[in-house]
Amino acid sequence: MSTAAIDWGFAPHPVDYEAAVELMETRVAAITAGSAPELIWLVEHAEVYTAGTSAKPSDLIDPDRFPVHRTGRGGQYTYHGPGQRVVYVMLDVRQRFHGDVRKFVYVLEGLVIDALAEFSVVGVVRPGRVGVWVKREDLGAGREDKIAAIGIRIRRGISFHGLALNVAPDLSHFDGIVPCGITDHGVTSLQGLGLSVSMGQADAVLKQVFEREFGTVRDIGALSATAVSAQHAAG
């Protein structure tokens, strides 16, 4: 596995979804060319529905509720919005995982599970259901709610998109879609589980578990989509 330093940054303000995708495209090209280090970028978005490559039109229940963006990541429909921590992961999967995308997704799921454990929440993964789930026996036998979604894209061995952890979003906003095409289970958050966790606390734990897996990251602080795009355009 590569031991090269990974940049760790966050967006200080909500990021437009299309601007975030443009940033990822620019950064992935730079990583591929060897002109920029890998990057893990933490953001929040304004309310938006995104459609992955497997999204079914029938799963978009309320198309007029929020903007809808088609995206090249894997998966189906999901929601992004305030109170949800989106972690965009731009890593060299060729070097770190010998190109094994399944293993990469498995590691991302494990990182979320480890982060949840820091808040005494037991996360699980299920065959056929990408993402991380929590058991909700209080809501019915066999009920499990999704607390984190994962959707990635690989271009020339470099990943982008990533994972979304529900810290304290408005869960009613998921009602406009069939999240990830699954109707038999629900969606929850740390707040929905009765936990008062700030975004800063979630970020600190995420950084901790990522460093356990990848080694010490290089904290580059606040990064806006505009600033990063300008940086690479100038470079």
Active-site residue, selected from the candidate residues 180, 190, 217, 225: 180
Instruction: Please state, as a whole number, how many other Cβ atoms lie within 10 Å of the Cβ of residue 219.
Output: 10
The predicted pLDDT at position 74 comes to: 79
Q: Is residue 211 part of a domain?
A: yes
Residues 90-143: tens digit of each pLDDT: 999 999 999 999 999 999 999 999 999 999 999 999 988 889 999 997 777 788
The predicted pLDDT at position 68 comes to: 95
Q: Is residue 1 part of a domain?
A: no
The single residue listed with the structure tokens 């600190």 is 204
The single residue listed with the structure tokens 């499990």 is 144
Give exposure, 188-217, as e/b (b: 16+ Cβ within 10 Å): bbbbbbeeebebeebbebbbebbeeebeeb
**17-33 vs 225-234: helix crossing angle, rounded to 10:** 30
Residues 167-179: tens digit of each pLDDT: 999 999 999 998 8
Contact assessment for residue 209 and residue 114, using Cβ atoms and an 8 Å cutoff: yes
Residues 10-58: tens digit of each pLDDT: 999 999 999 999 999 999 999 999 999 999 999 999 999 999 888 899 9
The predicted pLDDT at position 182 comes to: 67
Q: Is residue 190 part of a domain?
A: yes
- Mean pLDDT over all residues of the chain? 91
The predicted pLDDT at position 192 comes to: 96
For the residues 67-96, what does the mean pLDDT come to?
94
Distance CA(115)–CA(62), nearest Å, equals 32
Give the torsion sign (CA, 177, 180, 183, 188).
negative
Domains contained in the chain, number:
1
Q: Is residue 195 part of a domain?
A: yes
The predicted pLDDT at position 209 comes to: 98
The predicted pLDDT at position 138 comes to: 79
Active site residue 180: yes
Structural domain for 99, as ranges: 6-234
Contact assessment for residue 221 and residue 203, using Cβ atoms and an 8 Å cutoff: no
Letter for the amino acid at 224?
Answer: S
pLDDT exceeds 50 at position 224? yes
What CATH number corresponds to the domain at position 146? 3.30.930.10
Q: E strand or H helix at 47, and its extent?
A: none
Q: Is residue 208 part of a domain?
A: yes
Q: Starting at the edge strand that comes first in sequence, how are the strands of the sheet with 48-51 ordered? A: 68-70, 48-51, 77-80
Q: Tell me if residue 64 falls in helix, strand or coil.
A: coil
Of 154, 148, 111, the C-alpha closest to 130 is 148
Of 90, 55, 72, the C-alpha closest to 17 is 72
Contact assessment for residue 180 and residue 77, using Cβ atoms and an 8 Å cutoff: yes
The predicted pLDDT at position 228 comes to: 47
pLDDT exceeds 70 at position 181? no
Percent of residues, the chain, with pLDDT higher than 90? 78
The predicted pLDDT at position 229 comes to: 43
Q: Is residue 174 part of a domain?
A: yes
Q: Is residue 51 part of a domain?
A: yes
- Residue 123 neighbours by CB under 8 Å, 6+ apart: 112, 113, 116, 117, 132, 133, 134, 147, 148
The predicted pLDDT at position 142 comes to: 80
